Amino acid sequence: MNLKVNRKIVSKEPDERVIRETMAGLPPGKGVVLELRRGRKDVLVVQGRPSSGFRLTWQDPLGNVQFSRRADVDGDTAVLTLTLFAQSDADWQGLAEWLPPNVYRYHSTNPILNAFGSMPPGLGALLIFGSAFFFFAVYALLTDAPGVGLQEVLLGFLVIGMLAAYIQYIELFFSAVRPRLARWLGALLGVQVNEDQSDARWFGGAGAGTWDASGGSAINRLLLHIIDIVVLIGGLIGPVALVSIGAFLIFDR
């Protein structure tokens, strides 16, 4: 078990005194992320500002994620919640009102808005950009706009589809590909890899997809981070480069 503030470990045996002192020492107007980890996937995150309140995020051992309904949980409630969580006291869940599991934090009573909120980002991008481009294309074709024909319209939809696919790929990369690779590399190098849980919805349970490495030798931890950078560059830029090269070869004939 450990308690982190902005990804830095402040205690490996957090109790109520440590948690309360940590909360009291936070800068009032600055955004902070407190993370209390009981296991690899059993993590409670308190994120916000002491002056305006906090939102709670819990990832259970099965990987399900729950957000508190409100983002203005006060500091005393956050302290008590963290303390009971650290003590494995089930009452910690009753101190805040929670959204259903795996429902994104911006929850609405409107089912249509909820459907958009839980929509895969690639599909959302396709609907938004595709709809806007559809109306533009119809207007351009009806008014015989110069330089806009059926071929240009089809090419525009192709580009939008590729953009949406890339956005969906990014979520897949951070939510599935990179975490699995991290666990495989950690086992291979004898290093304990923990995924940062600071914002679990949009980064697949990881704050910006980042890892913390502990244990093993310093060289192996450094090697892991170097491989991580290579994976990031290759995983994010590689598909764009391949598509760009392919498009150049096709259209430059």
- What is the domain partition of the chain in residue ranges? 2-95, 119-251
Angle at 28 between CA 27 and CA 29, to 5 degrees: 100
Half-sphere exposure of 77 (CA within 13 A, CB side): 16
Write out pLDDT tens, residues 200-235.
Answer: 443 333 344 556 666 667 787 778 778 878 888 888
CB atoms within 10 A of CB 40: 14
Task: Give me the tens of pLDDT residue by residue for the chain, a chain 253 residues long.
Answer: 889 888 788 888 889 999 999 988 888 778 888 999 887 778 899 988 888 889 898 888 877 788 888 888 899 999 999 999 999 888 998 988 888 776 655 555 556 666 666 678 888 889 999 999 999 989 888 888 888 888 888 988 988 998 899 988 888 887 778 777 877 877 887 877 766 544 444 333 334 455 666 666 778 777 877 887 888 888 888 888 877 776 666 665 5
DSSP state of 175: I
3-state secondary structure the chain: CEEEECCEEEECCCCHHHHHHHHHCCCCCCCEEEEEECCCCCEEEEEEECCCEEEEEEECCCCCEEEECCCCECHHHHHHHHHHHHCCCHHHHHHCCECCCCCCCCCCCCHHHHHHHCCCHHHHHHHHHHHHHHHHHHHHHHCCCCCCCHHHHHHHHHHHHHHHHHHHHHHHHHHHHHHHHHHHHHHHHCCEEEECCCCCCCCCCCHHHCEEEECCCHHHHHHHHHHHHHHHHHHHHHHHHHHHHHHHHHHCC
Half-sphere exposure of 173 (CA within 13 A, CB side): 19
Q: Quote the pLDDT of residue 112.
A: 63
Local structure of 44: helix, strand or coil: strand
What is the pTM (predicted TM-score) of this model? 0.57
Token reading at 3: 């308690």
Cα(118)–Cα(62) distance, integer angstroms: 19
Length of the chain: 253
